[in-house]
Amino acid sequence: MRLETHYMLLALYLALMWLAVTAGTAAPGAAGRAEAPVTLAEDQSSFTLANGYVTARIEKQSGTVVSLTYQDLDLLRRGRGYWSSLGGGGAGSRRSSAVRLEPAGNGGTRAEVSCKLSYDGQPASLPADVDLRYALGRGDQGLYVYAIWEHRPGYPAFSVGEARYVVKLNPDIFDFLTVDAQRRRVMPTGYDWDHGTTLNMKEVRRLTTGVHAGEVEHKYDYAAILPETPAYGWSSTKHHVGLWMINPSFEYVAGGPTKVELTGHLDGNPGGLPTLLNMWLGSHYGGSSLAIGEQEAWTKVIGPFLLYCNAGPGHGEMWKDALLRAAREAEAWPYAWVSDPAYPPAAGRGVVTGQIVLRDPVVPDTRFSNLQVGLTAPHYQGRASGGWPANVDWQRDGKYYQFWTHADAQGGFVIGNVRPGTYTLHAFAEGVLGEFSLADIAVAGGKTRQLGQLAWTPVRYGRPLWEIGIPDRSAREFRHGDHYWQWGLYYEYAKEFPNDVNFVIGKSDWRRDWNYCQPPRIEGDDVRSTTWSVSFGVPEAPRGRAVLRLAFCGSRGGCNVSVSVNDKPIGETGALPPTGVMHRDGIRGYWFERNLPFDAALLERGTNTLRLTSHAEDWTQGVLYDYLRLELEPEGP
């Protein structure tokens, strides 16, 4: 079962309700439009693709969608759809365009066009050839978009920090943003954005006009785990139309199944246009890595994904319809209509099956849920800096493809549509600290690789004395974790915890008494480090070695946590990676673990106190814990 299939069940349920509500209410002429042939027209500057449902005009020189018409409405007026990247240089000046599929030659079934931006040898140019492609099929209520990046040996080395597809929408049409069930609402207008008061970051404004006057608008409050958000977008209260970003596969998206990124928001520039994003390479919440060497031959296909247009009586109905379409697109992946050597068809891809069996000798009754299993590139050499490790792991990789699925309750998994290659198998689950990995998994096209039972023995240093939280790579179980997208929760910390966190094992409740983040104490311009304490009882003074296991799901550049036991220092974490989760109003980012061993003789019979000091010089330097556990190694002979 593929990752996308996991969400298809929800999508089908919601969509069936939508179909029941809207049965027999199709717009007049819908059947005729579904049967209408695709047409393609071009002039010196642009291509125009149409099929009775939508009409898209693409600028040849830039590969930009300058118009997308649906229901006689230009959904992009004053906006556009374009590719964007940061770092590596601007697109090459060698521009060419071509028709890849001429509908006149296939009975009006499909049109596809290409706008190629090639490396020109100039120092300021991106050393890659980028082919931007758009396709439209008969009956499609939307435009398919994809790109192929190619770096040829001899091109200069380069790296890119962010890359995305951006759609700036018509503000006279769209006023409602839907990300998920918790985040869907009428949005402020561009006027409201322009007249708001800037707060602690340029992306944050307190609104002074409109229906949300007095509230704070922050684009990061709409960030989401991309693989858990198969359809998100904008809809119109007045015109009852929607435009949705639908990803049928996340194999090309950097960061794997836990990657959080931006989805949609108001543009931060003057005018505050409604904005829709496909962040396939993101620097937020832990970043991603895409660095290519000078002699390296590298190609990556970004997409295809679908800009889906629909209509309905309400915002909820249009979202449910978009979820149904997302499920249909996932089932159709890989698309049979894509023809390119860099995009293997279904018959040229492989399948990997197996079962993860948890075997924990220290705690035999350990249970897990939400087991995710994936095939990724082996970890490879990057650059150690600012708290980042030298190796690039699957959480940061943006260079290669990844293939993930949810296992069943018994740990069985099927990973389908895998590109041929050699991978490392990874697995992680809620309730288990760490992850499983198995290297050198060769996948051949058209073949099924059966791995059988795979024993996962989690790392244990000894018996657990206590734990705080749930190992799930997030801080959602802690205070405010259920509404983390509210801007500025870190400012509430000094009021809610005037004496910092003092957690008592066996008495305190982490849902209430453990904050979702350990921020600095921010009081005006004064920023001070904070110290949290954990008190716990020990029936007998132990001997041997104890290990404090700290799992983090968020930090900021310069963060460092030092730890003491009964007022005696036992060590520190060292510089933590700059994932920037707290100030972007999140509860998860790049996940990592730090273990601090110490002499168990520091523990005393009776009550003991462990203290965690998060050192901060800047208000953004907050850390988020996923999980904490103290283990005691058994004494040797």
Amino acid at site 176: F
Structure confidence at residue 88 (pLDDT)? 85
- Which pairing describes strands 530-538 and 502-504: parallel, antiparallel, or unpaired? parallel
Task: Specify the pairing of strand 448-456 against strand 350-358.
Answer: parallel
Measured CA to CA, the distance from residue 226 to residue 535 in angstroms comes to 38
**Residues 254-294: tens digit of each pLDDT:** 999 999 999 999 999 999 999 999 999 999 999 899 999 99
**Predicted local confidence at residue 13, as pLDDT:** 44
What confidence score (pLDDT) does residue 32 get? 72
- In angstroms, the Cα distances linking 400 to 26, 246, 261, 280, 620 are 42, 21, 18, 12, 31
* Residue 636: predicted pLDDT: 61
CB-CB contact of 261 with 226 (8 Å):
yes
Output the pLDDT for position 17.
44
Q: Which pLDDT score, from 0 to 100, does residue 99 have?
A: 98
Residue 637's pLDDT is what? 56
Contact 207, 188 (CB under 8 A): yes
Residue 171: per-residue pLDDT: 98
> Which H or E run includes 328?
helix 315-332
Each residue of 67-101: pLDDT tens digit? Answer: 999 999 999 998 999 999 998 888 888 999 999 99
Q: What is the pLDDT, as a whole number, of residue 137?
A: 98
What is the pLDDT, as a whole number, of residue 550? 98
Instruction: Give the tokens for residue 609.
Output: 């106190």
Q: Are 63 and 132 in contact (CB under 8 A)?
A: yes
pLDDT < 70: residue spans in the chain = 1-29, 31, 635-637
∠ Cα 405 410 415 (to 5°): 25
pLDDT tens, position by position, 557-590: 889 999 999 999 999 999 999 999 999 999 999 9
Instruction: Please report the domains of the chain, with CATH numbers, ordered by start residue.
Output: 3-23+38-333 (2.70.98.10), 347-456 (2.60.40.1120), 463-632 (2.60.120.260)
Long-range contacts of 192-198 (CB under 8 A, 24+ apart): 192/217, 192/272, 193/217, 193/266, 193/271, 193/272, 194/270, 194/271, 194/272
425 in Cβ contact with 315 (< 8 Å): no
